[in-house]
Structure 1
Amino acid sequence: MDKSLEKSLTLWLKQQQTVCAGYLKLTVLFGILTGLCLLAQAYTLASVLDGLIMQQLSLLTFYPELIALLSLTIFRALLAYAKESSGFIAGKKLRAQVRQTVLNKLISLGPSFINTKPAGTWANIVLEQIEDLHDFYAKYLPAMMLAGFIPLIILAAIVPINWLSAMILLVTAPLIPLFMVLVGMGAAEANRKNFSALQQLNGHFLDSLRGLRTLILFHRQQAEIDKIANVSNDVKQRTMSVLSLAFLSSAVLEFFAAISIAILAVYFGFSFLGHLEWGSFSLLPPTEHRLSLFSGLFVLLLAPEFYQPLKDLGTHYHAKAKAIGAAESLVTLLNIQDSSLTSHITTSLIASSKASHTKIDLKTWELEANNLKVFTHDGECLLGPISFTISGQQKLAVVGASGSGKTTLVNLLLGFLPYEGSLKIQGIEFNQLDLSHWRNNLAWLGQEPQLFHGTLMDNLRLGNQTLSTEKAWELLAKANIDDFVSQHPLGLKLSIGEQAAGISVGQAQRIALARALSRDANVFILDEPTASLDSASADAITQSLTKETTAKCLLIVTHKLSQLGAMDTILVLEKGQLNSSGSYDELMAQNGLFCQLNAQTAYDIDLQTSLGLNS
């Protein structure tokens, strides 16, 4: 990973700590109190052992000290628990904040952007990668601060007793973070590659599950198993590479800590044997030139604890590398507006806090597009330049061959794509509108409507939470699905599985249409509402839609052109450009692209009928 990128990601991670700054400070405070408690423990224990061994005092003499030692042990355990708890809460708050920010960003970018990656990839980013930020805030940041405080506190306690011991600790301490960095170099890049491999595996596996029936029908299950095995092996190798770095880092830290403590032990051993008689200030009794047992025990008890914060920092350094690897995808997503859009587009449509949030009256309105261009989030032009006008009570159809830009126009009007040029409603630029207010007055049906796990009534109430049973049956009748539901034993309690499992595509389409009609909307935007239906059902639903949207705006995208006689205006798109526009009769009289599309549609219907598919 590029060093500048790694630094920018680290800076971003540290900037996010404001949401949990209070708990991070508490974590550090509890850690410092734990260190002070440790000093008191070491002092008490060294005093007791010195009195018992060197002064031959009775154990009963140290009864208060033993009670104090037990109390300090319990208090230190409570402080350690409080430190871990506050660190966990800090990580929890941070994860919740980042996850909400990411979800808000995905909502603002819309389905057109989300569909650029498999669902498994998004699940990995939103769930696993955000979870991998936890240890950075719960453990690494507190450990980094405590690694500066605790050793200095211990040094301050040791210097008055033995300056040479303090010097040994001071000289050897930098070796641990130095080798920690050397061994951990490249850990962030290894984690980034591991996350990338996990995203690929998640997306591939989820797509395989969803397409399992197709794979079996085409006898491709073994080939798919081999692909998943290859991707899994790649993830396994990358995971083991990350783990090997973590284990190597821990081993190096333990080695240098052990060497440093061994140097201290050798020094004290020679001092007690009388071969070394310097290094002590002799500020504490006894006032001999040689070290006392108390001094040696006190320093040796504190030596492991001196290195412990540094070892903790080394242990959690892996959490930093992990967080940096996870942050790359998150930062790329959150910065997409600044980096991918503004460099290509002068006027961007993005639902953000920077919008003016202007509300309009959607009962009497007019939409006017002038030299309108619509772009992907990467700046690629999908549609335009086109110009057209829609009035508040107009029936508008958008037709064209696949890939001509019909769904692109729908996604723009839903507020999910950036644009350039002018798109005004009642004279107000579209990117200045309050998108929440605009969407609350829309009823939308997509090409592939989503029904969720639950009852049929649950799915209908996604459009209107106060929907009554009577109104539900009325809507089902308008969507030409009431006969199927009434004949089912469960009726409105019919259970629908994930991805509309348990019902046909056409039935799911009509239930989703009933859900769209349940909304008290002024604008209906329907993308291929009759795509999966036979001609008779499609004609019935088209008539129902025309009647239901009287005095309201209806924008419909369709390939079935014979049903558009009731439309006020039809826009004919070709390769992202507006080919022609007018009423059904006007376009038929022109004998242009619309006539060709109409003839092709009639041929397709005849072919389906002859094959027995139109039923």
Structure 2
Amino acid sequence: MLMQTKTDNAGSRLFARIGASLAARFIPIANRSLLYRLLSENLKAQAPWYGLATIAMLIVAGMTSLSAWIMKDIVNETVVSQNMQRVLSLAVGVAGIFIVKGVATYFQMVILSKAGNSIIATAQKTIFDRILKQDLNFFMRFPSSELVMRLTNNAQAARTVMDLVLTSAVRDLFSLIGLMAVMVIQQPMLTIVSIIIGPLAFWGIRHLTLKVRAIMQQELASLGMIIQNVQEMTIGVRIIKAFGLEGYMRERMDKYVSQVEQRANSIARLSAATSPMMETLSGLAIAGVIALSGYWVVDGGKTPGELMSFITALLLAYEPAKRLARMRINLEAAMVGVRMMYELKDHPIRLEEKPDAQPVPAGHGDIEFENVGFSYDPKKPLFENLNLSFPAGKTTALVGASGGGKSTIINLVMRLFDPEQGSIRVNGLDLREISFESLRNHMAYVGQDTFLFNGTILENIALGREGATEEEVIEAAKSANAHDFIMHMSNGYNSPVGENGGNLSGGQKQRIAIARAMLRDADILILDEATSALDSHAEAQVQDALKRLTENRTTIVIAHRLATITSADNIVVLENGKILEQGRQEELLSHDGPYRRLYELQILPQLEENQN
């Protein structure tokens, strides 16, 4: 085991040194540091596999060179000496060479696939974990389609680069070195003629790589648009059908697919251009060899076997030389994806948990905003010196026009953002001093846009509290007025909700979300228009359940329908990030203020309509 580990580490170190040398020679300066980072992050983790793969590829390279070398003896013994016993021995040797080469090639491919799949899995896990730690600003910057594309295609690009560098650094380079050695030993002068054209090939390929980089970046952007179009189609299918937008969606998809097709064809043309270039230059080299071979064989005292060995090595050297020549184009295309992957991995995390983060202090969920400042746009601050209290065990309602800061307040309370100035305290301790796990365990949330995970109703409600029993889930559903409609479904609590609750109505989804929050039984309850999708009968029943749920809990309610907050302990009216007034409803209605005007516009017409 110790010997195997030493071999693996030696192989990976050899690969690293050779890969670095190749990088310095063939890879643009802009990509070198990125490639070094990719190698350093993956070589150590995959050292055993890459060590074994290096050994297998060295065997392949050695057998390739040996197959060219043995041609000398085959020709001389067959044509010149005509020694049949010797010929049979050489035939056995050739069979052995190709058997060993085949077995080594098999293990090389299997091992590289295992290491490559591990690289993809590790990259995807790391990136996904990084994304989970980001704040809401991150998700505003990166649309979901782009994140999906980066998480899948870019992780695959990392594997492609590793495989490309490894095979080029070991198999192709050592095969070429071995074959060149055979050529030099057998025909040194012809070797010089053959390699004169090498620099011309690499100069031409360098020009092609500059075009590949720009085209590949555009292609990845178009792939992201394809993913986005598919997502919008699945999510907005009702709108598409209702407004007859099939043609519009089809045109968009045709446009994006055509862009990807055109750019893929451009990359294919540029990549394919290396083959005729190498074919032409190799043909010129071989033609020169044939023209000069007669002189060295007839007048130079060389044997036919030496010439055949040389020509065999020259022909075998063509494929690894061509792959090395095309390496830069293929690498340039893959490095675009690697660069995009590292943009996600390196994106700063603005919401960091302190190493010595504490649990939420003992208390009942008292929340205090003290001189809080926050802005989405530095030129337009939303909050400046905002002071606001959410007393423990009381219900505080936030009302006002859209854009006033209501949702931002609850996002700050849940620590989805951090304030730029001031502090937000829960039970007297700054949120930035509290661990994420403890903070979230003390909070339950029901949003206006209800989100359900793909799974069963039971699984979705049970997510409210880890380890909840089925009986507790059912009790929460009953409290949320969801039990009856659940039992009327084909499989009851085991009925699938579909993608984002597609099998349920809006009101049903919202009651499932309320049941999930009830099950959590948290000190702090956040309701963002939690009853907006319910009909009047269901809303009345859920309001009763919410009334029981909010007892002795700190509750923050965002409401546009004032009828849902009449019993709130404190109503805060917000406009453009400023508190216009606050108090109980009877206090706010006792004078002519913004809440009273809003009440008269919304509630009084309903009362008059009911009287009539």
TM-score by length of 1: 0.85
* Alpha-carbon spacing, 1:242–1:28, altered in 2? closer, same or farther (3 Å): same
Counterparts of 2:609 and 2:246, CA distance in 1: 30
Residue 12 of structure 1: aligned partner: 34
Which amino acid letter does the alignment assign opposite residue 389 of structure 1?
A: S
Moved more, 180-189 or 218-227: 218-227
* Cα distance in structure 1, aligned partners of 2:309 and 2:608: 93
Q: Distance in 2 between matches of 1:119 and 1:418?
A: 23
Number of aligned residues: 579
CA distance in 1, matches of 2:148, 2:326: 28
What is residue 196 of structure 1 aligned with on the other side?
A: 221
1:549 is displaced (CA, Å) by 3.5
Pair 313,394 (structure 1): closer, same or farther in 2 beyond 3 Å? farther
Take 1:609 and 1:40, find their aligned partners in 2: how far apart are those partners? 97
2:316 paired residue number: 305
Which residue pairs with 1:52 in the alignment?
Answer: 78
Corresponding position of 2:208:
183
Q: Distance in 2 between matches of 1:14 and 1:601?
A: 64
Paired letter, 2:68: A
Cα separation, partners in 2 of 1:328 and 1:158, compared to 1, 3 Å: closer
> What does residue range 148-547 of structure 1 map to in structure 2 within 5 Å?
148-274=173-299, 277=300, 290-337=301-348, 349-351=350-352, 356-361=356-361, 363-364=363-364, 366-376=366-376, 383-385=382-384, 386-425=386-425, 426=427, 428-547=429-548
Give the drift of 1:114.
Answer: 2.8
In structure 1, the gaps of 5 or more residues are: 278-289, 339-348, 611-615
Deviation digits for residues 44-67 of structure 1 (CA, Å, limit 9, x no counterpart):
333122211111211x33333322
Q: Could you tell me how far 1:451 is from its partner in structure 2?
A: 1.8
User: In structure 2, do the counterparts of structure 1 residues 183 and 437 end up closer, same or farther at CA, with 3 Å as the change threshold?
Assistant: same
Q: Does 1:552 align with 2:553?
A: yes
Q: Distance in 1 between matches of 2:96 and 2:66?
A: 11
SS at match of 2:81: coil
| Mapping 1:84-123, distance limit 5 Å | 84-110=109-135, 113-114=138-139, 118-123=143-148
For the residue of structure 1 that corresponds to 2:273, the secondary structure is helix
CA shift at 1:603, angstroms? 6.3
Q: What is the Cα deviation at residue 538 of structure 1?
A: 3.0
Q: Any gaps of 5 or more consecutive residues in structure 2?
A: 1-26
Greater shift in the superposed pair: 379-388 or 215-224? 379-388
1:568 maps to 569
In structure 2, the CA distance between the partners of 1:161 and 1:234, relative to structure 1 (3 Å rule), is: closer
Q: Return the offset for 1:366.
A: 4.0
Matches within 5 A, 1:10-89: 11-21=33-43, 22=47, 23-58=49-84, 60-89=85-114
Q: Take 1:7 and 1:407, find their aligned partners in 2: how far apart are those partners?
A: 46
Structure 2 counterpart SS, 1:80: helix
Q: CA deviation at 1:9?
A: 5.3
Q: 1:204 to 1:91 in 2, by over 3 A?
A: same
Aligned to 1:341: none
Kindly state the Cα deviation for residue 499 of structure 1 after the two structures are TM-superposed: 2.4
Does the 8 Å CA contact 1:355/1:431 hold for their aligned counterparts?
no
Determine helix, strand or coil for the equivalent of 2:581: strand
CA distance in 1, matches of 2:119, 2:61: 26
Q: Which moved more, 1:449-458 or 1:362-371?
A: 362-371
- Checking the alignment, whether the CA contact within 8 Å between 1:368 and 1:424 is kept in structure 2 is yes
Contact 2:364/2:523 (CA < 8 Å) preserved in 1? Answer: no
1:282 corresponding residue in structure 2: none
Residue 343 of structure 1 is matched in structure 2 by none
Q: Which amino acid aligns with 1:11?
A: S
- Judge conservation of contact 1:39–1:302 (CA < 8 Å) in 2: yes
> What fraction of aligned residue pairs are identical, expressed as a percent?
20
Cα deviation, residue 250, structure 1:
3.2
Deviation at 1:103? Answer: 1.0
Q: C-alpha distance in 2, partners of 1:52/1:243?
A: 45
Once the two structures are TM-superposed, the CA of residue 529 in structure 1 deviates from its matched residue by 0.7
Query: How far apart are residue 112 of structure 1 and its match?
Result: 5.8
Deviates more, 1:557-566 or 1:109-118: 109-118
Amino acid of the structure 1 residue aligned with 2:109? E
Moved more, 164-173 or 95-104: 164-173
1:94 and 1:158, CA in 2 relative to 1: closer, same or farther beyond 3 A? same
